[in-house]
Amino acid sequence: MHEELLKSLAERAGAVDQSGEWPTAQLSELAEAGELGWFIPEEFGGNPISGEESLARYRELATACLTTSFILTQRNGACQRIANSENDWIKSESLADLASGRTFATVGISHLTTSRQHMARPVVAAEPTAEGFKLSGTVPWVTGAAYAKYVVTGAVLPNREQILVALPMNAPGVSVLPHTRLLSLTASYTAPVQLEDVVVENRYLLAGPVENVMSKGKGGGTGSLVTSGLAAGVAYRCLQLIEREAERREDLIPTRNAFHADYAEVDELLRSENPSAELARERANSLVLRISQAALAITKGAGFVTGHEAERAIREAMFFLVWSCPQPVVAAALDELVCRQ
Ligand SMILES: Cc1cc2nc3c(=O)[nH]c(=O)nc-3n(C[C@H](O)[C@H](O)[C@H](O)COP(=O)(O)OP(=O)(O)OC[C@H]3O[C@@H](n4cnc5c(N)ncnc54)[C@H](O)[C@@H]3O)c2cc1C
């Protein structure tokens, strides 16, 4: 990935975190650099890259700016689900504009995987109609909802089968609720989307009706390697900070060496052939939580000041405890917190 692009994103990462404003300029820079077509076929103006290459680029981006890289994951998840569907109409309708950055799409799928799983009734219900489906409920988490032309989202039918659709955000009955301030990533404009009897025609259907629709097709899987890649990217930024401090403070050399080895292990795991996504996430989560705290301890009171790199990294690390975090990874994190490994 271009050094200049990464440098420019890194320079503005603190400001975007502090302002909480949507990173329009950063997303334009990605478009100009041709980085919006990773999962879009060439026929629609994309420039597809392999899974390994995308993981490497996500890591670099997260080191530079977690906000931008996180938004890109959600947007790419939507592109992947559309591109890998069998719906040729929606592909020709949406993918060229997505590849150029003229439009934005995102995902709201957590209610089918990691959110609201303890609720007896589905949070988004679908009813079959003559022209397609009628959707009602609230999609709890949608990054960049206010900027999206389409939200790839799911709903549950009365027989418990599920559908996945590219929801057109201008459909009557769709409203984006206000986004709130978050511990970090407020600038991702993550908000609930309310659906009141929204008629979604069959031409927007990406998959289903089928049981467990998210297990079919590719794109933005829960706890996927990409989520670990982002955690590793933030961890690397902390490692760089610790290395800079250790250059002038000899007493920090053992700490730097220990984290170096720790990071190398996560790096090796992420680069290995077919790594276990669960293990990678457990290790990457553990590392980013510990190394960001070490960065704070090392930078002391200065690092505790709002806007300092260490202060931001600590808040960003917390995100990995809740984002796309499958139950076994949560359990491993809790075990580590009570020192029961
Ligand atoms: C910044 C951010 C951006 C995100 N962006 C997206 C996005 O773009 N697209 C997307 O699909 N997802 C997104 N997510 C969602 C994310 O991946 C997780 O699904 C989400 O964080 C899970 O949290 P939840 O509060 O919805 O979980 P829930 O499981 O719904 O928990 C909510 C509350 O319910 C209670 N509870 C939980 N489990 C139980 C239980 N077993 N019994 C009784 N009570 C219980 C607890 O009090 C808990 O606080 C985002 C999340 C964040 C934080």
Measured CA to CA, the distance from residue 112 to residue 324 in angstroms comes to 11
Q: Can you tell me the distance from the alpha carbon of 314 to that of 80, in angstroms, rounded to the nearest whole number?
A: 31
Distance CA 59, CA 66 (A): 9
**Residues 299-330 pLDDT 10s:** 999 999 999 999 999 999 999 999 999 899 99
Identical fold, 107-214 and 225-337: no
- Write down the domain spans for the chain: 3-100, 107-214, 225-337
The string of pLDDT tens digits covering residues 230-289 is 999 999 999 999 999 999 999 999 999 999 999 999 999 999 999 999 999 999 999 999
Cβ–ligand 1 distance for 94 under 6 Å, the answer no
Task: Find, among 62, 115, 86, 98, the residue nearest to 222 by Cα.
Answer: 115
- For 128-186, the pLDDT digits (tens) are 999 999 999 999 999 999 999 999 999 999 999 999 999 999 999 999 999 999 999 99
> Is 14 near ligand 1, meaning CB less than 6 Å away?
no
Confidence of residue 219 (pLDDT cuts 50, 70, 90): low
pLDDT band at 339 (very low <50, low <70, confident <90, very high): confident
- The response to whether residue 116 sits with its C-beta less than 6 Å from ligand 1 reads yes
Residue nearest atom 32 of ligand 1, based on CA coordinates: 116
Cα distances (angstroms) measured from residue 223 to each of 42, 66, 323 = 28, 17, 8
Specify the residue with its C-alpha closest to ligand 1, atom 24.
115
Ligand 1 within 6 A of CB of 277: no
Ligand 1 pocket test, candidate residues 66, 76, 323, most atoms within 8 A of CB: 323
Which residue puts its alpha carbon closest to atom 34 of ligand 1?
116
CATH architecture of the domain 225-337 equals Up-down Bundle (1.20)
The CATH number given to 107-214 is 2.40.110.10
Atom 44 in ligand 1: residue holding the nearest Cα: 118
Would the pLDDT of 121 be above 90?
A: no
pTM of the predicted structure, to 2 decimals? 0.97
Supply the CATH classification number for the domain 3-100.
Answer: 1.10.540.10
